[in-house]
Amino acid sequence: MQHRQNRVQDNNSVWEKPSETWLKCNVDAAFHDRDHITSFACCVRNSHEQFIRAQTKWQWTNITVLEGEAVVLLEALHFADANRWDWVVFETDSSTLVQALSSPGHGDLEFYAIVSSIIYQLSLHSNFEVKFVRRQANMVAHTLARAVCSWASHHIFYSYPSCIEHWLINDNS
C-alpha cells in the first residue's frame, strides 16, 4: 500500500501548474437537489497553464456527495485514458475521497465500490496521481460542475466555455 500513498497527496489552496510534460485534471461534482440532478465536470490544463479539454456530464439521480465526488474522479480517469494521456495529476476538493484512496475501508457500499474501481484504474496507469486541494484551487471544475445543466448531458469542450474564463485567468496570475 506504500506505493499508493505516494501517489495520493493532500495539499494546496491555490491552483498550481503541473510539472513539465504533466497534465492537471481538476474534478468536481455538483448536486442540484430541486431537479434531482447530479453533475460532474473535469478540466484539463498543461504545464504551460493552457486549457486542453474539459468534460461535463449530468444525470437524474440521487446519490450521496461522496458517491458523486468518487464518480467524477472515475469519469475523469476514463476521460484521460480515452484521450491517451499518460502523465496526469487529478485534483479533487474531497479530502474524504483522497483518504479513502490511501486506505480503503468499509462503510457505504456504493462509495467503496466506486473507490475500488478508482484504485483499479490507478493501478493501470502508474503515472496518474490524485491530490486533495481546497475549493479555492478547484474553482474551474467547481464552476463547470455548477453550469453543466445548461448543456447536453455529456459535453466535451475543446475550447473553454466562457463561464470558467475568469477562473482560468485568475489561476494563471
92 pLDDT higher than 60 = yes
Cα(138)–Cα(24) distance, integer angstroms = 11
Query: Which whole number is the average pLDDT over 70-95?
Result: 97
- Rg from Cα positions in the chain: 15
- Residue ranges and CATH numbers for the domains of the chain are 2-172 (3.30.420.10)
Give residue-wise pLDDT tens across range 76-86: 999 999 999 99
C-alpha cell at 61: 439521480
Collapsing DSSP states into helix, strand and coil, what is residue 158?
A: coil
| pLDDT confidence bin for 12, thresholds 50/70/90 | low
As a whole number, mean pLDDT of residues 61-70 equals 90
% residues pLDDT > 70 (the chain): 90
Planar angle of CA 73, 133, 3, nearest 5 degrees: 65
Burial pattern 84-112, b for ≥16 Cβ within 10 A else e, equals ebebbbbbbbbeebbebbbeeeeeeeebb
pLDDT for position 9: 46
153 versus 89: which is more confidently predicted?
89
- Whether residue 74 contacts residue 68, with contact meaning beta carbons closer than 8 Å, is answered with no
pLDDT top residue among 151 and 97: 97
Query: What pTM value is reported for the model?
Result: 0.89
Q: What is the pLDDT of residue 148?
A: 86
Using 50, 70 and 90 to split pLDDT, how confident is the model at 106?
A: low
Residue 149 confidence class, pLDDT cut points 50, 70, 90: confident
